[in-house]
Amino acid sequence: MSIASKPKSPEPGPPQWVSRTLKLVWSFGAILGALLTALLWGGVWGWIGPVILSLAIVAWGANFCWPRSRDQNRPAGRRYVLRVALTMGVAYPILFFSALWLYKRGLPHGPLGYLIAAAPALPLVGMFLIFQRFLREETDEVLRASLLWALVWSGALTLCEASVWGFLETFGKAPNVWMWAVPLAFFVQLGVTIPLAQRRYS
C-alpha cells in the first residue's frame, strides 16, 4: 500500500525574483533618492530625488507586507501597502512639488509660507501613524514583532547618527545637514533592519 505523498506547502513570501527586485529598489532607491534630493535641490531636476524616494518606500511596504503564503490573505497588510502608496507615492510628490513650485515663484511669504514649507513633511509624519495603525490591525505576531524590532533599531541608529553628527557640526568638524535628512536616514536604514528582522523571526 503506497503512502500518499504529503502535499507541498506553498512557499512563504513573494517569488524570489520579486523579493530581490523590491529590496534592490528600496535599498538603492532610498540612498540614491536622498543623495539626489540633497545635490539637486532647487535645480531643474530637483524633482527626481523625491520621486525615487517615494517609489523606494512603496517598494519596501509591498515587500514587507506580502502574504507569507499564496493562500494567505492579509487585509491589514493590503491596507498598509495602500496607505503607504497613497502617502508616499501620491501625497508626498504632490506636496513637495507644489511647495517647490510656489517657492520658486516667491509665493510662500508670511504665515502662509510656514504652512507651505511644512507641507512636504506631513506624509513623513503620516508614515509613523501608518506604522501604528498597521501594528494595531495586524494579527500576525511574527509580522508585528519583526516590524517593531526593525523600527526600534532604525530609530536607535538614526538618533545615534544624528547625535554624533550634531556634535561634529557644533565643533566645526562636519558640514551642516538639513533636518529633514533625519527621517530619510531612518527610512533608509529600515531597508537594512527589515530584512534582518525577517531573518531573525523566520
Which sign does the torsion angle of CA 35, 126, 187, 15 carry?
negative
Which amino acid is residue 99, in one-letter code?
A: A
**Cβ distance 53 to 28 under 8 Å?**
no
Whole-number Å distance between alpha carbons of 59 and 146 = 17
- Helix residue ranges, H only, 41-140: 48-64, 75-84, 92-104, 110-118, 121-137
Q: How much is the pLDDT for 89?
A: 77
**Cβ distance 190 to 150 under 8 Å?**
yes
Q: Mean pLDDT, 10 residues at a time, over the chain (202 residues)? A: 45 59 68 72 67 71 56 70 83 84 77 87 91 89 88 94 94 87 82 82 78
Q: How much is the pLDDT for 168?
A: 95
**Cβ distance 29 to 53 under 8 Å?**
yes
Domain positions in the chain: 16-201
The predicted model scores a pTM of 0.69
Whole-number Å distance between alpha carbons of 50 and 97 = 9
**Cβ distance 81 to 65 under 8 Å?**
yes
H or E stretch at 185 = helix 181-201
**Cβ distance 181 to 162 under 8 Å?**
no
Whole-number Å distance between alpha carbons of 130 and 136 = 10
Q: How much is the pLDDT for 45?
A: 66
